[in-house]
């Protein structure tokens, strides 16, 4: 299973980059049910589960119940029963990645590569793991190796582009995102990331077009609406930008960047009270960003005492 990163733009901070990941299915192995939600285990069964069944139970715990620690237990037992089960090792690594045990994930994926040197998913997952560790430069060789093994994997192209964007290699990032959307024309996340990359390259109208495509593919993604607001704002279309920020907040009420951007729009309109209401909400979800917004709202009304000359 892999994930897809999405980059977001925000007005108040320069070059603010965040990421969101989208899951790809875990690996199933021989004789497993195609749909883990349909798995049924008889409670009175006395037969010790085999590695296939243990792997399936782990997939169920991960995908259906979101019980990642229990999934780790099942995948570990599956590996004990079948040490050469590459799918079990891959699933174990993805489970470690899911709960933030990045060093364990790295160890597991490297063990998988040791026995299967051409395992595309292991390299792609190592790239993601180093990305999550904020070791962006270190993530690049793993994404590159994965793409050498499978150059037409749109998800890895997209994830690779995110690391490149954070490292300010925007042209190379755009090249990979162009490939991703060509390979997978319904890839919402790739269009969203592509819009942000184009924005950083100063190609605002092209960015708007790419983000509009992402919106059309999935109108329920708050980040896409925020990004559209950012681009329209930069193009001077404040009214349209405001509507997108509002929609982003409707979709995700705790979306800090959108709350901040909406407050700044209110402030530009002269509505300090509305901006202050957004600030109060933002304080509950992101105090650091709220502190910066507070400075924007109140800054011009605050007098620095050190700059006031005493009267004679």
Q: What is the CATH number of the domain that holds 278?
A: 1.25.40.10
CA distances from 214 to 6, 211, 219, 255, 306 (A): 11, 5, 8, 18, 50
Distance of CA 98 to the CA centre of its chain: 12
Assign residue 299 a region: left if phi > 0, alpha if psi is -120 to 50, beta otherwise?
alpha
**pLDDT class of 39 with cuts at 50, 70, 90:** very low
Would you list the DSSP string of 169-202? Answer: -HHHHHHHHHHHHHH-TT-HHHHHHHHHHHHHTT
Q: Determine the average pLDDT of the residues in 11-17.
A: 31
Residue 261, domain member (yes or no): yes
Percent of all residues in the chain with a pLDDT value above 90, rounded to a whole number: 71
Closest CA to 20 of 221, 174, 302: 221
Residue 264, domain member (yes or no): yes
Say which residues have a Cβ less than 8 Å from residue 214's Cβ, sequence separation at least 6.
188, 189, 191, 192, 195, 221, 224
Q: pLDDT value at position 26?
A: 73
**pLDDT class of 31 with cuts at 50, 70, 90:** very low
Question: Is the CB of residue 8 less than 8 Å from the CB of residue 199?
Answer: no
Closest CA to 93 of 120, 111, 70: 111
Residue 110, domain member (yes or no): no
Q: Determine the average pLDDT of the residues in 287-304.
A: 74
Residue 270, domain member (yes or no): yes
Question: Is the CB of residue 219 less than 8 Å from the CB of residue 250?
Answer: no
> What count of Cα atoms within 13 Å lies in the side-chain half-sphere of residue 236?
0
Q: pLDDT value at position 312?
A: 44
Angle CA 45–38–85, to nearest 5:
70
**pLDDT class of 111 with cuts at 50, 70, 90:** very high
Q: pLDDT value at position 311?
A: 46
Q: pLDDT value at position 310?
A: 44
Q: Determine the average pLDDT of the residues in 83-90.
A: 92
CA gap 205, 265 in Å, rounded: 20
pLDDT > 50? residue 193: yes
Residue 77, domain member (yes or no): no
Residue 87, domain member (yes or no): no
Q: What are 32's two structure tokens?
A: 């497993």
Question: Is the CB of residue 57 less than 8 Å from the CB of residue 74?
Answer: yes
Q: pLDDT value at position 252?
A: 94
Q: pLDDT value at position 11?
A: 42
Residue 242, domain member (yes or no): yes
Residues in the chain: 312
pLDDT > 60? residue 8: no
Question: Is the CB of residue 39 less than 8 Å from the CB of residue 33?
Answer: yes
Question: Is the CB of residue 131 less than 8 Å from the CB of residue 19?
Answer: yes
Residue 98, domain member (yes or no): no
Mean pLDDT value across the chain: 84
* Domain enclosing residue 247, as ranges: 219-300
**pLDDT class of 10 with cuts at 50, 70, 90:** very low
> Poorest-confidence range of 12-16, 158-162, 164-168, 235-239?
12-16
- 150-189 pLDDT, tens digit per residue, is 999 999 999 999 999 999 999 999 999 999 999 999 999 8
């Amino acid at each position: 299973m892999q994930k897809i990163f999405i980059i977001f733009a925000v007005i108040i901070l320069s070059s603010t980059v965040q990421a969101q990941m989208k899951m790809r299915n875990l690996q199933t192995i021989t004789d497993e049910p195609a749909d883990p939600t349909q798995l049924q285990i008889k409670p009175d069964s006395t037969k010790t589960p085999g590695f296939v069944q243990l792997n399936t139970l782990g997939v169920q715990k991960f995908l259906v119940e979101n019980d990642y620690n229990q999934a780790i237990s099942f995948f570990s037992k599956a590996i004990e029963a079948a040490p050469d089960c590459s799918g079990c090792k891959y699933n174990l690594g993805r489970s470690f990645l899911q709960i933030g045990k990045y060093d364990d994930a790295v160890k597991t994926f490297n063990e998988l590569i040791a026995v299967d040197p051409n395992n595309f998913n292991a390299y792609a997952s190592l790239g993601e793991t180093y990305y999550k560790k904020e070791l962006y430069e270190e993530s690049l060789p793993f994404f590159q190796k994965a793409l050498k093994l499978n150059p037409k994997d749109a998800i890895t192209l997209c994830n690779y582009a995110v690391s490149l964007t954070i490292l300010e290699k925007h042209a190379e990032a755009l090249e990979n995102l162009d490939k991703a959307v060509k390979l997978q024309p319904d890839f919402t996340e790739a269009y969203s990331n592509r819009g942000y990359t184009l924005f950083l390259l100063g190609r605002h109208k092209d960015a708007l077009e790419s983000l509009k495509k992402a919106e059309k593919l999935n109108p329920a993604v708050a980040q896409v609406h925020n990004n559209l607001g950012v681009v329209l704002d930069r193009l001077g279309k404040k009214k349209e930008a405001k509507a997108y920020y509002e929609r982003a907040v409707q979709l995700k009420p705790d979306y800090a960047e959108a709350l901040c951007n909406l407050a700044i729009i209110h402030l530009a309109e002269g509505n300090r009270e509305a901006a202050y209401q957004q600030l109060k909400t933002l304080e509950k979800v992101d105090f650091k960003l709220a502190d910066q917004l507070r400075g924007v709202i109140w800054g011009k009304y605050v007098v620095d005492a050190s700059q006031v000359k005493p009267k004679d």
